[in-house]
């Protein structure tokens, strides 16, 4: 049965959420349904070019705003409310929507780690979480760990379906032959407490004292990585930029180059719903050293990763020394069954199957 489905695509440039939208959208649009896509027409053009089963509703205010809750354009609402259902890839739902709602919630980090956000910020986010719980017919999420946390906070009153997520298809198509490993360790993330960069910096500097010759490459802009920890910011500023350095914004091509040529990717997170960088690194032939948080133990249990105890600087330092000091870096080659374990065709199929009656 062909339906009219509205999809909120305003997060298309965001990190993990944007990856999910960009990866799933082609499979959604390949179905027999008609779609309203909310977002910036220019950013959606690559996905809709030549298609007749889609219309873009030009709407650009950022999600999680009073504007989207109380001043959503009536002309758009008129069309949305004539569709059969509304899908949000995050836990914000604009006001005025009367059709059945389905959402994807990647994690419940804010109530689980309230120290990473201000009290007013937490209260505001909890309003959106509770609203998503109340409005959604079903919730999709990216791991069994996140499912357990959603069920905890929603008190099990709503079906939660695990879809997982995966890397963008263009990464899998990269040619890994001839990768030249350099003496670099890569970190991808921000300075928020749950990403564990402070633990990695301490372990890295200790490992340098024991002969580690590598540099630490932090992929991202120093100025855009947010932290309220003044002492940590000062620590970053005091580091030798020849040993620990930020890349600034990088293109897709440069990201592939950094990951392919790194000796190791370290993901020291204290909390994740899924965590894509280790999968990206291994797909590009680079070994991953990751914390033993529940989501990582679930997602990467069959993958050739090395775990260290989350938040344990000494254990991380020992693993760095063990893997890299007087050792040649490993080139990882994932077998086909692991390369295809998480894929957007499967993810999109699960979402559509659970939304369509």
pLDDT at 116: 87
CATH number at 169-339: 3.40.50.2000
pLDDT at 192: 80
Q: How far is residue 303 CA from its own chain's centroid?
A: 19
pLDDT at 109: 95
Per domain, the residue ranges of the chain are 4-166+342-355, 169-339
pLDDT at 104: 97
How big is the CA angle at 124 (ends 120 and 128), to the nearest 5 degrees?
Answer: 165
Retrieve residue 14's tokens.
């965001």
CA distances from 239 to 158, 260, 314, 323 (A): 48, 25, 20, 23
pLDDT at 240: 74
Report the C-alpha gap between 295 and 256 in whole angstroms.
Answer: 24
3-class DSSP string for 252-289: HHHHHHHHHHCCEEEECCCCCCCCCHHHHHHHCCECEE
Contact status, residue 166 vs residue 342, Cβ threshold 8 Å: yes
pLDDT at 223: 59
Q: Do domains 4-166+342-355 and 169-339 have the same CATH topology?
A: yes
Could you tell me which CATH class the domain 4-166+342-355 is placed in? alpha beta
Radius of gyration of the chain (CA): 21
Burial class of residue 88 (count of CB atoms within 10 Å of its CB; 0-12, 13-18, 19+) = buried
Token pair 């994740």 is at which residue? 272
Report the C-alpha gap between 235 and 80 in whole angstroms.
Answer: 50
Task: Show pLDDT as tens, one digit a residue, over the chain (357 residues).
Answer: 689 999 999 999 887 889 999 999 999 999 999 999 999 999 999 999 999 999 999 998 877 888 888 999 999 999 999 999 999 999 999 999 999 999 999 999 999 999 888 999 899 899 999 999 999 999 999 999 999 999 999 999 999 999 999 998 888 888 776 678 999 999 998 778 899 999 999 999 999 999 999 999 998 766 545 544 556 666 776 677 789 988 877 888 899 999 999 999 999 999 999 999 999 999 999 999 999 999 999 999 999 999 999 999 999 999 999 999 998 898 999 999 999 999 999 999 999 999 987
Retrieve residue 326's tokens.
């007087």
pTM of the model: 0.92
């Amino acid at each position: 049965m062909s339906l009219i489905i509205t999809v909120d695509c305003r997060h298309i440039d965001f990190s993990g959420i944007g990856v999910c939208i960009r990866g799933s959208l082609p499979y959604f649009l390949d179905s027999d349904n008609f779609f309203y896509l909310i977002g910036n027409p220019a950013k959606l053009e690559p996905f809709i070019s030549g298609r007749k089963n889609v219309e873009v509703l030009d709407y650009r205010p950022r999600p999680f705003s009073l504007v989207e809750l109380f001043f959503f354009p009536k002309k758009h609402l008129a069309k949305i409310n004539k569709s059969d259902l509304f899908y949000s890839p995050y836990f914000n739902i604009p006001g005025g929507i009367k059709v059945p709602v389905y959402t994807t919630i990647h994690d419940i980090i804010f109530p689980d780690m309230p120290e990473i956000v201000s009290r007013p910020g937490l209260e505001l986010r909890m309003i959106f979480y509770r609203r998503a719980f109340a409005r959604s017919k079903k919730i999709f999420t990216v791991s069994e760990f996140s499912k357990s946390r959603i069920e905890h906070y929603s008190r099990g009153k709503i079906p939660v379906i695990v879809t997982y997520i995966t890397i963008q298809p263009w990464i899998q198509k990269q040619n890994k032959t001839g990768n030249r490993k350099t003496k670099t360790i890569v970190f991808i993330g921000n300075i928020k407490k749950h990403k564990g960069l402070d633990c990695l910096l301490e372990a890295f500097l200790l490992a340098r004292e024991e002969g580690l010759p590598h540099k630490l490459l932090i992929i991202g802009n120093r100025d855009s990585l947010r932290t309220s920890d003044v002492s940590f910011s000062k620590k970053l500023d005091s580091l030798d930029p020849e040993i620990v350095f930020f890349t600034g914004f990088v293109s897709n091509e440069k990201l592939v180059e950094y990951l392919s040529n790194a000796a190791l990717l370290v993901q020291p997170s204290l909390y994740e719903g899924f965590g894509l960088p280790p999968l990206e690194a291994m797909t590009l032939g680079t070994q991953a050293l990751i914390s033993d948080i529940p989501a990582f133990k679930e997602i990467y249990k069959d993958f050739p990763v090395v775990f260290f105890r989350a938040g344990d600087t000494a254990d991380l330092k020992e693993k760095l020394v063990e893997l890299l000091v007087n050792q040649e870096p490993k080139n990882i080659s994932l077998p086909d069954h692991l390369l295809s374990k998480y894929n957007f065709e499967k993810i999109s199929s699960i979402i559509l199957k659970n939304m369509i009656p």
